[in-house]
Amino acid sequence: MNKSRRLIYQKFLIGLLIFSFPGVCLSQGDSAYVIRGNVKNYDQTYFGMVQEDFLDWKDYNIVVDKKGNFFRKIHTESLQDFILELNNETYTFFAKPGDTITLTWDHKNFSKTFAIQGNQNGRTGEYKAILGLFVLEKNRPKEKDRTDDNSNFERINAAYNEDIKFISGFASSDNFDKIAYDIYYKYMGLLTDSKLIEKNKLTITDPLVKEALGKNILSPLLNYRLLNEIAFNKSAVYRNFLFEWIRLQSQFNGHLALDKTEQTPNFIKSQYLMGQAVLSIRRIRDWYGAMIIKAGFEDSEYTNALEIYNRYLLETKDSDLKKNLVKYYSNLKNLSVGQPAPGFTLKNTDGKLVSLSDFTGKVVYIDFWGVHCGPCRSDILENSAKVHKKYEGKDVVFLNVCTDETEQPWKKAIASLKLNGVNLITEKPNDSGVSNDYNINSIPRYVVIDKGGKIISSAAQGLWDLLQENENILDLALKK
């Protein structure tokens, strides 16, 4: 680690001053943790937080009172990640049942004053390690992918070694293995994205760091070819890597058949069967199946996902996963093709109330988007004006529903994006009735409703797809 970078760490970590608060007790065995603290010079009424779980995540708005105090109890059954949205950045930490986590900072000088403290042994040190990794990443020079595979791998492996070397100073931590798993599978994910995973192996180059790591976590456990239930239980990064890696191992991208009656392949089914074949630990296999089904309902044809959902209920032995999936489906089935679209009434930019029912007799294309959503903004900037021009004068209305912000940032974004159509905003950022009714777990999300107010697709094509030469879902809807 060079001298200048070490000074960056020292200045940041010195700023992690710990402030004391009155004690908050959670009962023994309480399946929850507490987020509390105080912020100075804060000009908003809340900050965002995302609780990640095995099957999904939940958005919270942590309310901040006039004195800058906040307190929120969050349910969790096990060690799970939570993501704080602070100072236009996201910070991922973790918590276990019984944790009390105290946050303090001055909004005018965030980087030097932000502090996080845990009530469990060693947790504050673990949080400092995670913050140090964040600083390391933020100050790492941003490089584009290079043209040759060797250079790309060397860049990824060098960053991996920097992170591992940094956390080796926290090796006595109870959850050191969780942090090490997070780092390893973060960079394995980058190798996968760069199509280098089969050609290269992440390697720790410093023998002293390798020795320190080996005393606390067996090096063979950092091996993506080893199905690891310990990592599965502790690391959301591992679970995300596992899900993507297995489901993308499809042998074919489609089929060319002489028999024109051949059915279009159900990729949800093939991905589900792949998991059944290669995952030898039942709990992980059942989890993977549930994830595939959820992804299928959100991104693919409803009937394809429904076929596998019904099969899964017969095959899974995990009662908790089955219960959660049944609850998820019971909320989702109202969005199947032909069902009445859930009604809503939201404010437009003039503060007037606009209802979905106002557009009966027209095809409605809803774009659920967010001010802070990069893919949303990109699709809007590149394609929105072209789409509006293509469908000008036709019986279609474009509703743009912002889900993640309050009024002023929303209006500012609309102006900068030159967003046409009917612009609406949800009642509460990340926690609204319309988002729940339409099962909006991620954005962008596109919904198409027919002239009679019934669902055509709850996971429709994006703006870019509407500009292709082939007939799209909107063209077909307008013919009816």
> In the predicted model, what is the mean pLDDT of residues 378-405?
93
Locate 462 and state its tokens.
């994006």
Secondary structure string (H, E, C) spanning 226-272 = CCCHHHHHHCHHHHHHHHHHHHCCCCCCCCCCCCCCCCCCCHHHHHH
* pLDDT at res. 33: 94
Q: Which pLDDT belongs to residue 7?
A: 38
- How is residue 265 written in tokens? 């392949």
What is the C-alpha to C-alpha distance for residues 378 and 396, in angstroms, rounded to an integer?
22
- Residue with more model confidence, 383 or 436: 383
**Would you state the pLDDT for residue 57?**
80
Cis-peptide into 265, omega within 30 deg: no
pLDDT of residue 231: 93
Q: What is the mean pLDDT of residues 105-109?
A: 95
Q: Are 63 and 48 in contact (CB under 8 A)?
A: no
Span 168-227, pLDDT tens digits: 888 777 888 899 999 999 999 999 988 888 888 898 888 888 877 777 676 667 889 899
Q: Are 173 and 129 in contact (CB under 8 A)?
A: yes
Q: What's the CA gap between 86 and 362, in Å, rounded?
A: 41
- pLDDT score for 11: 37
- The answer to whether 61 and 428 have CB atoms below 8 angstroms apart is yes
Q: Give the full edge-to-edge strand order of the sheet including 115-118.
A: 69-75, 32-40, 100-106, 115-118
Structure tokens at 260: 């024109």
pLDDT digits (tens, 9 = 90+) for 303-353: 888 899 999 999 998 888 999 899 888 877 888 889 999 999 999 999 999
Neighbouring residues of 109: CB distance < 8 A, sequence distance ≥ 6:
none
- Output the six-digit token pair for 243: 């899900």
DSSP 384: I
pLDDT at 23 > cutoff 50: no
* Paired tokens of 261: 């009656």
**471-477: long-range contacts (C-beta < 8 A, 24 or more apart)?**
473/448, 474/363, 474/365, 474/391, 474/396, 474/448, 477/363, 477/396, 477/448, 477/450, 477/451
What pLDDT, in 10s, does the model give residues 397-420? 999 999 988 889 899 999 999 999
Residue 3 phi/psi, 5-degree rounding, is -65, -45
Q: Which fold has domain 345-479?
A: Glutaredoxin (3.40.30)
Average pLDDT over residues 1-30: 40
